[in-house]
Amino acid sequence: MTERKVPMAPVQLEMWHTEQTTRSARENVYCAFKLHGRLDVDALGRALAAVVARHEPLRTRMVVEKEPVQLVSDAVSCSVERTEINSKDEAVDLFRAIVSTRIPLDAMHLWRTSLMRLPDGDHILGFVFHHIIVDGWSLCVFLADLGEAYEQAVSGRDPSLAPLPYTYGDYCHAERYRSDSEKFDKILAHWRKLLPATLPEVRLPRDGERSERAEPAGGTLDTSLDASATARIGGRARASRCTIFTLMLDAVTMTLSEHAATDDVIVGVPFHNRTKRQLRSLVGYVVYDVPMVLTDISSRGSDQDRLQYAKSVSAAALRFPSTRGLMMRELYGLTDMEQYTFMLNIQDQPDIDYGLAGIEMTEIPVSNGTFLHGFELMLQRVSGQIDGHLLYDAELYSRSRADALWTDIKSRLLVPPG
């Protein structure tokens, strides 16, 4: 086995620095499925090996030399070991323990597989990755490639996937060059015009104080919207000639302004950064957290005025997205970045189908009880409705506080168009 050095992308480098101060599993990204049907475990293992061979981040570990770097191995061993369990609840508990365990950044490899067999012959299959090598889009790519390779394996063929013409290592080199080039100066100039001289703070009333425990706990509130509510929101968006995201941003902004008693609000918004075709088939961490700063909120007048303002702010912010840490360091001299008080994470489901041949896959919701921001509203359109949840810092904010925020956001979303 040989390893080659690859520079970390700026987004990875930011995460590496923040990870040095925690023992939390907050950066674990995971998914779990119940598998109904005859599973060929040997074929699954061979399919997984084919996926690992295709994607560099699955063969990567992080080390410190003169600076933090990635070491990408030309090959790593991987296998799928099956555990016999007595019930689905037992499987979920076991998987929750796995996703609640931090993955060391210098480990080979930075992901884990869990396969458990139920007494009736069905299986629970789970994966957990360190966020530094994947993002939400990556999970769909990973599962789609796994399904393709598994179909080959169960058909009696040797599973193999075509090498990627553009790798995650290529992306990392390009991003490091961009952060040091004249193009980044142009990006900074854009953000210098866009952002205020002083960043606004959103100070929501707290219900508790930070304890002495090693890692504070997170809470989860269901924020799903049924088909009827989703249709009403879609109708309002069409009537207002804006997107559902614009409605969401306006509703969050107005709610934070009221609850924090401030006229200026900053909201973090993840940008998937997969607009270039060459990035769409990569497993890797390419997401930017983009700051949306909305000011003088009370002077915006009518609903339509506010929506047009929210639309213009988001369009300008997404014109030249960049890593938050670099921008804040260059523009404000901030080196120790705090997390956003509120993150609005509307996940676009990639147009990527996945599945295992002959197997019925049903996703199982699992939470490891961690959080990254004071509040993070995560929403996704699924089968005609909006599914989601609100994660929050349960030491500083009560469940009733989280519920009050979501209730106000939802009421603003459902205001009839007019």
Q: Look at residues 109, 134, 169 and tell me which one is the last residue of a structural domain.
A: 169
The pTM is what?
A: 0.93
199 and 138 within one domain: no
Task: Look up the domain containing 359 and give its range.
Answer: 183-413
234 and 374 within one domain: yes
256 and 122 within one domain: no
Say what the pLDDT of residue 337 is.
Answer: 54
- Token look-up 């952060």 returns 179
Quick one: average pLDDT of 117-139? 96
Between CA 162 and CA 143 the distance in angstroms is 16
**CATH number for 266:** 3.30.559.30
- The yes-or-no verdict on residue 233 having pLDDT over 60 is yes
390 and 311 within one domain: yes
- The yes-or-no verdict on residue 68 having pLDDT over 80 is yes
Asked whether residue 174 is assigned to any structural domain, the reply reads no
Question: Which tokens is 171 given?
Answer: 């992306």
Phi and psi torsions of 89, nearest 5°: -60, -40
Between CA 311 and CA 322 the distance in angstroms is 19
Q: Which pLDDT tens digit goes with each residue over 299-329?
A: 988 889 999 999 999 999 988 887 777 777 7
How many domains is the chain built from? 2
188 and 128 within one domain: no
Q: What burial letters (b/e) apply to 135-161, b meaning 16+ CB within 10 Å?
A: bbbbbbbbbbbbbbbbbbbbeeeebeb
Q: Look at residues 117, 138, 169 and tell me which one is the last residue of a structural domain.
A: 169
Q: Residue 337: how many CB atoms within 10 A of its CB? A: 16
144 and 108 within one domain: yes
Q: Which pLDDT tens digit goes with each residue over 345-379?
A: 998 778 899 999 999 999 999 999 898 899 999 99
Say what the pLDDT of residue 330 is.
Answer: 81
135 and 230 within one domain: no
248 and 396 within one domain: yes
236 and 118 within one domain: no
Q: What percent of the chain has pLDDT over 70?
A: 98
Q: Look at residues 109, 141, 169 and tell me which one is the last residue of a structural domain.
A: 169
Alpha carbon 132 to its chain centroid, in Å, reads 11
User: Residue 73 to residues 41, 186, 206, 297, 309: CA-CA distances in angstroms?
Assistant: 25, 36, 47, 51, 48
Relative to beta strand 68-73, strand 82-84 is unpaired
- Choice between 337 and 167, residue whose per-residue pLDDT is larger: 167
Side by side, which strands form the sheet with 82-84?
A: 82-84, 111-117, 123-130, 28-36, 360-363
Asked whether residue 299 is assigned to any structural domain, the reply reads yes
127 and 193 within one domain: no
The greatest distance separating any two alpha carbons of the chain, rounded to the nearest whole angstrom, comes to 67
3-state secondary structure of 416: coil
106 and 147 within one domain: yes
